[in-house]
Structure 1
Amino acid sequence: MQLKVHGGGCLCGWIRFEAEGNPEKPHTCSCGMCRRHTGAPTAAWVEYPRDRVRWVGPGGPPSTFRSSDYSSRAFCSRCGSSIGAIDDEPTVALLVGGMDEINDRALAPEYHSFEDALPEWWSAQDACRNAG
């Protein structure tokens, strides 16, 4: 049985990825790092083991910025689009907004991280309608 491949990439198409299989830990997050990385009050993420993500665009792997003692934020050096995060452990977290097939239910967030950091005008229910 062939695993589903989730494709996606940046705004200009220089950075493209293919992530094989169902994602792990689909969630939203409102921590300060995620807000600043995306420019949004909350970010939607999915995670994959590093060996299941291939960088297939002409730009190869994304550029990175070391954002913490365990992770680097990934972005396109041409258009500036946020791609995700590449952790020291063998994990690649991809931003759901960059996925080609945004309506795939496997991408639906299951929980919300840092709910206490949401702006007062934004509810966790709005940020993660599918939380269980």
Structure 2
Amino acid sequence: MTVRTGSCLCGARAYEIEGEIGGVWICHCSLCRKATGAGGIAILIVPRERFRWLRGEDHGVTYELRESYTMTRCKTCGTPLPAETDEKNIYVTAGTLDEPLGKGIRTHIFCASRADWDRDEPDVGYFDERPG
């Protein structure tokens, strides 16, 4: 069985996921944009029974932005971490995986809320590293 690990930037919190993951979901809602400061949030939807904390389970701060929307972050580095408010699933922030997933984006949600700048310009540049 495949086991993947993930952690926050400082390493205080770490988790593992058992089994395959179908792909990444991108949420473009205004709450996810504000919470991340980006175009949205990339998540993995993992059944609760396949997720477990390896360390630092008590090292998070959860912010309840609305009754149905929370964001948990590491107390030390502020990394957005898996959301555990759903009884069935854990919503794992895809960027916290420690190794490649081997899957791409499978679903975009709340596209009507997508920021107007969340698109490529015709002359967009692509660089393997930061341009000099």
Same fold (TM over 0.5): yes
Contact kept? 1:27, 1:112, Cα under 8 Å: yes
Change (3 A) 1:111 1:86: same
State how far apart, in whole Å, the 2-side matches of 1:21 and 1:69 are.
Answer: 30
- Residue 24 (structure 1) shift: 5.1
Contact kept? 1:28, 1:113, Cα under 8 Å: yes
State the match for 1:28 in structure 2. Answer: 26
In structure 1, stretches of 5+ residues that fail to align are 125-132
1:64-118 per-residue CA deviation (whole Å, 9 max, x = no partner) reads 222333453221011111013212322110111111123422xx22110111222
The structure number with the bigger radius of gyration is 2
Contact kept? 1:24, 1:48, Cα under 8 Å: no
Runs of 4+ in structure 1 off by over 6 angstroms are none
Change (3 A) 1:65 1:27: same
In structure 2, stretches of 5+ residues that fail to align are 121-132
Superposed counterparts of 1:1-132, under 5 Å: 3-23=1-21, 26-57=24-55, 59-61=56-58, 62-105=60-103, 108-123=104-119
State how far apart, in whole Å, the 1-side matches of 2:116 and 2:70 are.
Answer: 29
Amino acid at match of 2:38: A
Contact kept? 1:71, 1:86, Cα under 8 Å: no
Indicate the RMSD between aligned Cα atoms, in angstroms.
2.1
Change (3 A) 1:70 1:117: closer
Change (3 A) 1:103 1:46: closer
State how far apart, in whole Å, the 1-side matches of 2:44 and 2:14 are.
Answer: 16
Q: Alignment length, in residue pairs?
A: 119
State the match for 1:128 in structure 2. Answer: none
Determine what percentage of the aligned residue pairs are the same residue: 30
**So what's the TM-score if we normalise by structure 2?**
0.78
